[in-house]
Amino acid sequence: MSAPEMISMGCRLNIAESENLRQNLAANNIDGDNLIIVNSCAVTNEAVRQTRQAIRRAKKANPEKDIIVTGCAAQVDPAMFAAMPETSAVVGNVDKYDAANFKLGLHSNRPDIRVSDIMRITETAPHMVSSFADRSRAFVEIQNGCDHRCTFCIIPFGRGNSRSVPAGLVVDQVRALVDKGFQEVVLTGVDVTSYGPDLPGQPTLGLLIERILKHVPDLPRLRLSSLDGIEIDDRLFDLLTGAARLMPHVHLSLQSGDNMILKRMKRRHSREQAIALVERLKAKRPDIAIGADIIAGFPTENDAMFANSLAIIDQCDIVHGHIFPYSPKQGTPAAKMPQLDGNVIKERAKILRKTVARRAQQWRQTLVGSRQNILAEMSGSAGYAENFASVRLDGSASRGQIVAVEITGVQDKQLIGRMAA
């Protein structure tokens, strides 16, 4: 009896939860020999399309296996996935932690759609992960859900309201992963900067990070997933700019560089606040690398508004850019706003990506001649620096090993690193 094949779509949180799921099913003796689980993503219509495509491909390649779909897209629209002939069952985002929901046929008396009301969930149970298959870094879920209602976003209806994992349990999991040999841990969630207000004493993300760094001294590298800049308080700011083991890499959930569009998105920051935050970060930690999410072609975005989003790439020195062409999600307020022509959206996304690529390549050139510490990926021939620059090694390193290199050049989108003799 083997573990089921896992197909994880979308975000880092899904990666963490897929590994949780794999180990939970094995611990509960769920036979995975003839089972494929697709952990779906609902963040954009393209993500849903890719999920459906992955299901069809998996069934075509493995016609004898059952496919169970879980994750955000399954939670938001279970009927759509249940209607696919390739699918044997649909399991909700909370329901996936009950191993019995992955039993089929004679072994189960449950309906094909096994999806609970996620808005009624008030706690996030920690799911301890002992390892990550095919990963050089580990992902730890510290928070799930979101209390905000950005007008373009369907994710709160796939994840529920915000709820945090108690700090002591997070520390325990990080320590266990370090004991297993992991050199880098990524703290992940839907809205990690909202960590803590639902817990006793209302700890903040900064306090959690302090506890991890203090109580897991053997952890060399701690990294954060996407942050909401408006929620970065003084404690978190001081850690981002002063804690050597907290990686110099901040990914901001900007979404737009125009104040009117930000207001229509119901975002809580202004372009001026975003720019000022980056200036403060770089003033205290000049080597920090900035990433950001930007949506191209949000409803009502005119040329001047788009120009502001384009300009903020340089103004915030964005070198790790995730550009999303806007797609209306049924049930969100933005889907009812005046929509842009699809070709305009595609063209604006193309321009944003080119601008980020230019900025990133300029940044890579500034790193030539520097020394960087690289976490080797699976192949051993490449890895990521502390600032999340991709580096190709001139030799071979063990998966998950941190190696010091001198950056000798740039090729395509990678730095070239010369390992010490």
Q: Which residues contact 67 (CB under 8 A, 6 or more apart)?
A: 35, 36, 37, 38, 55, 58, 59, 86, 87, 88
Q: What's the CA gap between 249 and 241, in Å, rounded? A: 10
CATH number, domain of 103, equals: 3.40.50.12160
How many domains, in total, are found in the chain?
3
Q: What is the pTM of this model?
A: 0.86
- The pLDDT, as a whole number, for residue 94 is 82
Report residue 86 as tokens. 């390739």
pLDDT tens digits along 138-193: 889 999 889 999 999 988 888 888 999 999 999 999 999 999 999 999 999 999 99
Kindly state whether residues 176 and 264 are assigned to the same domain. yes
Kindly state whether residues 201 and 217 are assigned to the same domain. yes
pLDDT tens digits along 320-335: 999 999 999 989 999 9
- The pLDDT, as a whole number, for residue 123 is 66
- The pLDDT, as a whole number, for residue 133 is 52
CATH number, domain of 255, equals: 3.80.30.20
Kindly state whether residues 375 and 361 are assigned to the same domain. no
Kindly state whether residues 79 and 159 are assigned to the same domain. no
Q: What's the CA gap between 262 and 80, in Å, rounded? A: 31
Kindly state whether residues 298 and 336 are assigned to the same domain. yes
Count of C-beta atoms within a 10 Å radius of residue 293:
17
Kindly state whether residues 111 and 73 are assigned to the same domain. yes
- In eight-state DSSP terms, residue 330 is T
Q: Which residues of the chain have pLDDT under 50?
A: 106, 130-131
- The two beta strands, 184-188 and 221-224, are parallel
- The pLDDT, as a whole number, for residue 113 is 85
Kindly state whether residues 295 and 149 are assigned to the same domain. yes
Kindly state whether residues 178 and 311 are assigned to the same domain. yes
How confident is the prediction for the chain on average, in pLDDT?
Answer: 91
Compute CA 75 distance to the chain's CA centroid, rounded to the nearest angstrom.
Answer: 18
Report residue 101 as tokens. 């929901």
- The pLDDT, as a whole number, for residue 106 is 44
- What Å distances lie between residue 200 and 141, 168, 214, 246, CA to CA? 18, 12, 20, 25
- The pLDDT, as a whole number, for residue 300 is 98
**Per-position b or e across 94-109, b if 16+ CB within 10 A of its CB:** bbbbeeebbbbeeeee
Kindly state whether residues 111 and 229 are assigned to the same domain. no
- The pLDDT, as a whole number, for residue 183 is 95
- Beta-bridged to residue 308, according to DSSP, are none
Kindly state whether residues 185 and 313 are assigned to the same domain. yes
Kindly state whether residues 377 and 304 are assigned to the same domain. no
Q: Does residue 306 fall inside a structural domain?
A: yes
Q: What's the CA gap between 85 and 198, in Å, rounded? A: 41
Kindly state whether residues 251 and 169 are assigned to the same domain. yes
